[in-house]
Amino acid sequence: MAQEVKVPTLGESVTEATIGEWLKQPGDAVAQDEPIASLETDKVAVEVPSPVAGVLQEHSVAVGDTVEVGAVIALVEAGAAPAAKGDEAGKASEAKDDSKAKGAGDAQAKESASAPSSSATLSSDANQTLSPAVRRAVLEHGLDPSTISGTGKDGRLTKEDVLEAAKNKKSGGTVEDAAPQQAKTADTGTSGGERREERVKMTRMRQTIAKRLKSAQDNAALLTTFNDCDMSAVIEAREKYKDLFAKKHDIKLGFMGFFAKASCLALKDIPAANAYIEGDEIVYHDYVDISVAVSAPGGLVVPVIRDADQKGFAKIEKDIADFGKRAKDGTLTMQDMQGGTFTISNGGVFGSLMSTPIINPPQSAVLGLHRIEDRAVVVDGEIVIRPMMYIALSYDHRLIDGREAVTALKIIKEAIEDPTRMLIDL
């Protein structure tokens, strides 16, 4: 008997989604609760599981279609489906990798002699299992997806996997990371001198990001104040206690924990930076929920560290590490990103020296972190070298005055330069 596969409840106020990709094709065996489709919502990707074990009979909608909660998207014929199909595929993939590792030299010679074009690099099966973003990245870099190990859920390829393979290829990596030379030539069009364009529909998440950022510019009076801070004390503390911290808490001691706690001090003294405007009222919070900007395959997401002001360094670092892993795997939920009273965005991990971060509506302030670099500074009348970081606070000037914004950023700077302040609440 055929069972209907319906769009599940997606979260508060979310009523529709877009079919991002089909993880299973008609005729494929599926186990109960095995994901068969990925939906793109305004904030996250949501996987749709099969309600029963059986065989996927048909797709009722196509990739790119918009579907509402409760809509039927597929039919599964219930029956004794071989639930181990995924396991067998995984074993086959492992065997394939082992075979490649043993005969890398032969494979390299063989590939260079019979490399396919970039359009042929993606077989019809590969096209069915790769997300649009991954497919674009594979074509752009002229890679063979079957030679790249996936780190996503159930071993699926992520965009980061493709970019890492492309990076290894440029630095002279193994045959598994390298693209066929003919594919590269066909993709760039160097042989014929032709120039190409590609039109790709924006994902629902990217459209939402664009709308929210533009809305922030249109509706808020944005302004940014800057400062710089000497990272010597934090670096020294991390170096001194990193081993003990990791041994006790099973997590690395990072910089974000220090900035989260320093921000809590600032928000306690400057409550307007932890508030937002709703109509003609200001909504203040007696708690601090910090949204942390995290890079995900589909775009930037901002999961929330709840009650950051009540948590210690270890719990904050564990929350951040968990968010980073789940963002890469695509398993963040709507609940993870709802709320948030203040945001921290770390562009330094990508090498940014200075930026003007944009607020995350309806919040009124965002702290921007940047890369640490040794600079010459004057200390007690002498020129010395110190590890310095520029920090920025963008804020809604309708709610936060310049004096308050500058003061909040100064509190953060002082707490980072003298972490003892965070212990004695100064």
Give me the pLDDT at residue 426, please.
Answer: 65
CA 248 to CA 242: how far, in whole Å? 10
Q: What angle do CA 320, 323, 325 make, to 5 degrees?
A: 110
User: Which of 88-97, 218-227, 258-267, 376-385 is predicted with the least confidence, judged by mean pLDDT?
Assistant: 88-97
Domains of the chain (ranges; CATH) run: 2-78 (2.40.50.100), 112-188 (no CATH), 205-424 (3.30.559.10)
Backbone angles phi and psi of 76, in degrees to 5: -120, 125
Between 426 and 343, whose confidence is greater? 343
Give me the pLDDT at residue 244, please.
Answer: 93
- Highest-pLDDT range among 126-135, 212-221, 293-302, 377-386: 377-386
Give me the pLDDT at residue 130, please.
Answer: 65
CA 354 to CA 357: how far, in whole Å? 9
Catalytic (active site) residue 249: no
Q: With cut-offs at 50, 70 and 90, classify the pLDDT of residue 350.
A: confident
User: Which of 66-75, 203-212, 386-395 is predicted with the least confidence, judged by mean pLDDT?
Assistant: 203-212
- Mean pLDDT for 72-98 is 58
Give me the pLDDT at residue 172, please.
Answer: 62
Give me the pLDDT at residue 153, please.
Answer: 61
Between 244 and 152, whose confidence is greater? 244
Q: Which of 243, 307, 401, 418 is catalytic?
A: 401
- Highest-pLDDT range among 102-116, 223-237, 324-338, 344-358: 223-237
Q: Count H helices and E strands in the chain, helices first.
A: 14, 18
Catalytic (active site) residue 397: yes
CA 365 to CA 411: how far, in whole Å? 15
Assess whether pLDDT exceeds 50 at residue 263: yes
Tens-place pLDDT, residues 283-326:
999 999 999 988 776 667 889 999 999 999 999 999 999 988 88
Backbone angles phi and psi of 394, in degrees to 5: -90, 140
Q: With cut-offs at 50, 70 and 90, classify the pLDDT of residue 92.
A: very low
Strand partners, 304: 291
Find tokens 């309600």 and name the residue: 51
Cβ distance 22 to 128 under 8 Å?
yes
Cβ distance 186 to 118 under 8 Å?
yes
Tens-place pLDDT, residues 28-57:
888 888 888 888 776 667 788 888 888 888
- Closest C-alpha among 323, 301, 304 to residue 254: 323
